Amino acid sequence: MRVAVMGAGTWGTAYSMVLADAGHQVSLWGRSHEVVTAISRQHHNPRYLPGTTLPSGVDAHLDPALVLEPAELVVLALPSQTLRDNLLSWGESIPRGVPVVSLMKGLELGTMQRMSQVVIEVTGVPAGLVVVVSGPNLAREIAQHQPAATVVACIDESVARRVQEASLTSYFRPYTNTDVVGVELGGVVKNVIALATGMAEGMGFGDNTKASIITRGLAEMTRIGVAMGADPSTFAGLAGVGDLVATCMSPLSRNRTFGENLGRGMTVEQVVAITSQTAEGVKSSRAVLALAREHRVDAPIAEHVVAVVHEGLPPRDMVRSIMSRAAKAER
């Protein structure tokens, strides 16, 4: 197939490699002339995947229409808060009848919409053609061909299978699912939990603390998801606990690293200044908490992350506050 990947960041580039290794011709769209030129001429992305040689089946362009018009599959790999503006700019060039895949893990501020909902609303693409890919997929490891699995979710299982087959390689194994809400929410909430886990790491706490945050974070994620109609079993799989563990424990995780710097005493502004790529949980945390409150779900980790990231609460005060909550049964 001819595949358009809209977004030449780390994950967009790595997923392009997967698609090319699966036998497809992939065109990346990017805003940076430097990145686009390097991909097309030298077959590498020095800004986001330095030292990685891209397959010959990957090229790049600055013109979105040039990438989109011949596409038989469209992949969106953009920062979540820019998705709507981008789609309003070039969404009309998405060919009709082709699956549209979201690699994004965020909630839109203001609307609290998941990325698939934004795609459907702005472009008019039918829900049965909108696919979500989410799982323990740290881009740099995948670019090195380290074995990994993921979830391909669509309400139309046959479309999910098409995308599964299109991205199946010797090192990347996709599983299908029809629970779009659960798969998408898992990819969003885990970033918020990773911020909290990173703060614990930065403050010097050990594995007991981090395991506690991850486990209670999984319970929080599941409560929110079930309240929104997701299948609870989704959160026991790759898009739930799998992605949560990878994002919370790996130093390659942007959200964990962001939280770690906060735990070491840096301000949010200082961390933003040294962070070259988007930590989605920073912006999505408010939307996650708003969703939890809308559905009357107890979400203490999200609540405290918002207090630190957006309201200036020191991380150590966050720990005291969480640990002083009333004792209760585990659920």
Indicate which residue of 190, 210, 283, 328 is catalytic.
190
State which CATH number among 1.10.1040.10, 1.20.1640.10, 1.10.540.10, 3.40.570.10 fits the domain covering 181-323. Answer: 1.10.1040.10
Domain ranges of the chain: 2-178, 181-323
pLDDT at site 279: 81
Question: Residues 117-152, buried b or exposed e (16+ Cβ, 10 A)?
Answer: bbbbebbebeeebbbbbbbbbbbbbbbeeeebebbb
Confidence of residue 160 (pLDDT cuts 50, 70, 90): very high
210 noted as active-site residue? no
Of the candidates 200, 219, 220, 202, the residue with the CA atom closest to the CA atom of residue 210: 200
Side chain identity at residue 16, one-letter code? S
How many residues can be counted in the chain? 331
Q: What is the pLDDT of residue 331?
A: 83
Q: Which residue has the tokens 């203490």?
A: 300
* Rounded-to-integer distance, Cα 63 and Cα 29, Å: 7
Q: Give 220-250 pLDDT, tens digit per residue.
A: 999 999 999 999 999 999 999 999 999 999 9
Alpha-carbon span 77 to 86, nearest angstrom: 11
Closest residue by Cα to residue 215 from 240, 234, 239: 240
- In this structure, the number of other CB atoms found within 10 A of the CB of residue 324 comes to 7
Q: Apex CA 305: angle with CA 311 and CA 151, to 5°?
A: 140
Taking the CA of residue 3 as centre, how many other CA atoms within 13 Å lie in the half-sphere pointing to its CB?
29
Question: For residue 186, what pLDDT is reported?
Answer: 97
> What is the DSSP code (8-state) at residue 165?
H
Cα angle 23, 102, 41; round to 5: 50
Rounded to an integer, the average pLDDT of 279-289 is 91
pLDDT, residue 276, reads 73
Task: Give the pLDDT band (50/70/90) at residue 277.
Answer: confident
Residue 86, CB-side half-sphere exposure with 13 Å CA sphere: 20
Q: How far is CA 160 from CA 11, 20, 206, in A?
A: 20, 19, 40
Q: What are 179-198's pLDDT values in tens digits?
A: 999 999 999 999 999 999 99
**Cα→Cα distances 48→14, 267, 327, Å:** 10, 25, 45
The one-character DSSP state at 80 is: G
87-110 confidence digits (pLDDT tens): 999 999 999 999 999 999 999 999
Q: Cα separation of 327 and 317, whole Å?
A: 19
Q: Model-level pTM?
A: 0.94
Residue type, 139: A
Provide the token pair at 283.
């912006």
In this structure, are residues 299 and 223 in contact, taking their beta carbons and an 8 Å threshold?
Answer: yes
Element spanning 263, H or E: helix 254-263
- The hierarchical CATH code for the domain 2-178 is 3.40.50.720
The answer to whether residue 35 scores a pLDDT higher than 90 is yes
